[in-house]
Structure 1
Amino acid sequence: MTEQYDVVVIGGGPAGNAIASGLQAQGKSVLIVEADLWGGTCPNRGCDPKKILLSAVEAQQAAQHLQHQGLTGTPTIDWPALMAHKRGYTDGINDGTLKGLQHQGITTLHGQAHFQNDGQLAVGDQVVSATDYVIATGQRPAILPITGQEYFKTSTDFLDLDEMPKRVTFVGGGYVGFELAAIANAAGADVHVIHHNDRPLKAFDADLVQDLMATMTADGVTFDLNTDLQAIEQTDDGLQLTAPDFELTTDLVISSAGRIPNADQLGLENVGVTFNRHGIQVNDRLQTANPHIYAIGDVSDTPVPKLTPVAGYEARYLVQQLTQPGAAITYPVIPTQVFAVPKLAQVGLSATDAADQPDKYRVNTLDMTKWFSYYRFGARQAQARVIIDQASGQVVGATLLSDVADEMINYLTLLIEKHVTLAQLQQLVLAYPTPASDLQYLY
């Protein structure tokens, strides 16, 4: 007998868990299906474990900044101990997430979901049916289709390494490549980042990306730009990477060339749902071409960054839609960041776009390296580009490069979203001296 539910959620990551919990609280009967680890990518093999590893890098960097300025001796990273610290967190995610869902009264099922020709959903040998379905299956690392692609490892493998190899190479200069390169370099590896053109991190301010690369290069990371990798071959000395006029031997090669949506194994063609390399196609109510099937989070093709907080935002919106239908989704301003060393963060209008309308926007380019907030801990790099709407005097965009860019970008996000002018900001008294007390000088 086919089990019937109000809603079946496919994917037990941040987006799926959030919508399942929200719908259950609204009295809906909910089944959630997960094919891999409960909790999804972010806490198991993504943002959270990455940030745990980065914590040791940040501590090491802080000590290096203050060498002979109050500190003597730089700590070294004990990779096995750091990995044990990471696993102390990640090892409990799967079971803890599953128990949390079950405690809420949400029915759970483990297995690969696949829509059948009759529109019902098969999970293994079990068939379930629902009034509505929500797909929240996320993304997975892309593997470049080159000769020897079987030698590629991914970010999943890197974030669970027992030992750090002597030589590590990342193929792809996006978020993942920069972030993991910074970690591997700090842990003592000889690190290369290979990128097919001369513009890695293309969504970010080009000048600040160059500044970030210069700092990472000074720390020992080698960037091999305009290098279109063609083959990987196992040799006696390691893995040999080849491209036109380029050869490199390494011990570990990570494909960091983006991510692809987990949409190809769901049988979507059987229920009239379409997808492309950007994800499942949805309308402005997160609804697919099939009116009873929705997609949220990283698997959906939406015009916003693929981030965990965005997945949660979409889940909360869709809970409302499935209980009390209303207006189309609108997104707030969304910050993005690269947890490299130093950190690069951006929100709102870019300096490039602002430069096309000089009568409308003013771009403040600031070198903050000698400002007290950065001088006190010996920062090597603290840069900002802040975009001001000249008519309103409000901040409408910013890009930051510093050790505290991840903190500062949230402050700027609030200033943009709440349309705060300098005069309004100066009506507040903020703790001093802190990065927040510097905000008034960014206008």
Structure 2
Amino acid sequence: MTTSYDVAVIGGGPAGTAMAGALKAQGKQVVIIESDLWGGTCPNRGCDPKKILLSAVEAKDAATTLHAKGLTGGPQVDWPALMAHKRGYTDGISDGTLNSLTQRGIATRHGEAYFQGDGQLTVDGTVIQARDVVIATGQRPVILPIKGHEYFKTSTDFLDLDVMPKRVTFVGGGYVGFELATIANAAGADVHLIHHNDRPLKEFDPQLVRDLMAELTTAGVTIDLNEDIQAIEKKADGLHLKAADGFERVSDLVICSAGRQPNADHLGLENVGVKFDRHGIAVNDHLQTANEHIYAIGDVSATPVPKLTPLAGYEARYLAGQLDRPGAPITYPAVPTQVYAAPKLAQVGMSAATAAADSDRYQVNDLDMTKWFSYYRFGANVARAKVIVDQTTGTVVGATVLSTIADEMINYLTLLIDQQVTLNKLQRTILAYPTPASDLQYLY
């Protein structure tokens, strides 16, 4: 059986559903294909469930920092109850997403999509023809190819644990490793984070990363740097992680947090002349692949921006207006990124290292905000920021923030960057006081 559409979208996550919805609103005949859970990684097994689990960490930390400063005692994380709270949200995501697509009249197919040739896909035996195809298949966790790799679990497994093991080890010092280590530690596990070199979270300011590691170490997380794990061996007392230099760690659960890889290797892209590598599917500045009728958006594309849910929707909206009437290349606004650890680490725009290379133009304001009222009032252990100001325009062009409210502050700073707000302009705006927003004027 063969069915024909104007556009086929492969991937039912944030990028794919946004794309399909926008095209359907234009009157196009659209089919969206998903091989796993409708809704994609973020709401099912990524940022949303992670942040639900983090809510308990934030509450516990808030009470701990105010111990003897107005509070006595302290809450403990009830992991089964917290997991039930998480599942109360995630259990309905896939069906809810599918129902929403169906109600809007968007055709859906569940199965593996495979390119047979130009304009022709198969989905578990069904042939689908489409003039244009948009690939939005996202990414999946990397499993390091070491001896005993079958004992690795991933972030997907961690975010659905029924019971928190006594000993948990994370191999890989990126976003996922730091975030899940923070959660496991707050839940009472003996947590170890192992990274193969001395520069975890390499995208972030190294000084503030060191400050974050110091805070996590104080909280009970053991961080082992410059240890390249070569093997995992299962013994009676647990899983033994071993490095070539003799390092050994015993754990009950080992999470591979060494990054993610694009879901592009199972689509038959070689049949339609589309190239990809570990960074994703190669696209031009119109999100078009080497095949003029095939596009890639979201995490699976090799675009020069972080792989984040808001960018998936941003690219989908751009491309929806491009298929029939190609116009200007895609441009990206300032993109904030954050590590949901304790404290949080966030950044946007130009780094302090880049600014330092042109000190005549850029001023780096290195601020210790720990005693500022916004942080003192809840007993914060650390609050720091590096804010870069373009002295030729008087505008903020970059920032890195380490604090319990860094995710909130980075959004304010992103607005200042995108709107090119000078200090004079900001001070003509009345903001509620005392709040983190009212602190913005002191960052210039």
Return the TM-score normalized by structure 2: 0.99
Overall identity of the aligned pairs, in %: 74
Whether the aligned pair in 2 keeps the contact of 1:143 and 1:149 (CA below 8 Å) is yes
1:141-191 CA-partner distances (Å, limit 9, x unpaired): 000010000000000000000000000000000000000000000000000
Unpaired runs of at least 5, structure 2: none
- The Cα shift of 1:326 comes to 1.1
Equivalent pair of 1:119/1:270 in contact (CA under 8 Å) = no
Distance 2:112 2:342 in 1: 38
Q: Is the 8 A contact 1:7 1:130 kept in 2?
A: yes
What is residue 408 of structure 1 aligned with on the other side?
Answer: 409
> Which secondary structure does the structure 2 equivalent of 1:385 belong to?
strand
The whole-number CA distance in structure 2 between the counterparts of 1:433 and 1:339 is 24
The alpha-carbon deviation at position 325 of structure 1 amounts to 2.2
For the 8 Å contact 1:53–1:82, the answer to whether it is kept is yes
Pair 1:392-2:393 in alignment:
yes
Aligned equivalent of 2:353: 352
- Matched with 1:109 is 109
- Give the distance between the partners of 1:110 and 1:213, measured in 2 at CA: 43
5 Å-filtered alignment, 1:360-375, equals 360-375=361-376
Q: Look up the equivalent residue of 1:59 and give its one-letter code.
A: A
* CA shift for structure 1 position 323: 3.8
Equivalent position SS for 1:399: strand
Q: 1:74 aligned to 2:74? A: yes
Counterpart in the other structure of 1:122: 122
Task: Please identify, of 324-333 and 196-205, the stretch whose mean Cα deviation from structure 2 is larger.
Answer: 324-333
Question: Secondary structure at 2:321's aligned position in 1?
Answer: helix
Are 1:342 and 2:343 matched, yes or no?
yes
Is the 8 Å Cα contact of residues 26 and 323 (structure 1) preserved in structure 2? no
- The answer to whether the 8 Å contact 2:239/2:252 transfers is yes
Q: Secondary structure at the match of 2:334?
A: coil
Per-residue deviation, 1:118: 5.9
TM-aligned CA deviation for residue 355 of structure 1: 0.6
Distance 1:16 1:249 in 2: 41
1:131 aligns with 2:137: no
Q: Match of 1:100, SS? A: helix
Q: Tell me the TM-score normalized by structure 1.
A: 0.99
SS of the aligned residue for 1:216 comes to helix
- Alpha-carbon contact 2:119-2:132 (below 8 Å) kept: no
Equivalent residue letter for 1:377: F
SS in 2 for 1:290: coil
Q: Give me the whole-angstrom Cα distance separating, in 1, the residues matched to 2:43 and 2:196.
A: 30
After TM superposition, list the pairs within 5 Å mapping 1:116-265 onto structure 2: 116-117=116-117, 119-243=119-243, 244-265=245-266
The gaps in structure 1 that reach 5 residues or longer are none
Corresponding residue of 2:296: 295
Please state if 1:91 is matched with 2:99: no
Q: Quote the Cα distance in structure 2 between the aligned partners of 1:119 and 1:99.
A: 27
2:378 maps to 377
Amino acid aligned to 2:61: Q
Task: Using the TM superposition, give the Cα deviation of residue 245 of structure 1 relative to its aligned residue in structure 2, in angstroms.
Answer: 2.4
> Which residue number corresponds to residue 18 of structure 1?
18
- Residue of structure 1 in register with 2:421 after alignment: 420
- Equivalents in 2 of 1:129, 1:374: separation in Å? 58
1:322 positional shift: 1.6
| Secondary structure of 2:322's aligned partner | helix
CA distance in 1, matches of 2:429, 2:130: 51
For 1:276-291, list aligned pairs within 5 A: 276-291=277-292
CA root-mean-square deviation: 0.6
Q: CA deviation at 1:324?
A: 3.0
SS in 1 for 2:218: helix
Within 2, Cα distance between the matches of 1:82 and 1:323? Answer: 47
The question of whether the paired residues in 2 share the 8 Å contact of 1:178 and 1:338 is answered with yes
Measure how far apart 1:248 and its partner are.
0.6
The number of residues matched between the two structures is 443
1:433 equivalenced with 2:428 (yes/no): no
Task: Tell me the distance in 2 between the aligned counterparts of 1:333 and 1:428.
Answer: 22
Cα offset for 1:327? 0.7
SS at match of 1:230: strand
Q: Is the 8 A contact 2:262 2:299 kept in 1?
A: yes
The SS at the match of 2:216 is: helix
Aligned to 1:53: 53
CA shift digits 1:273-303 (9 cap, x unpaired): 0000000000000000000000000000000
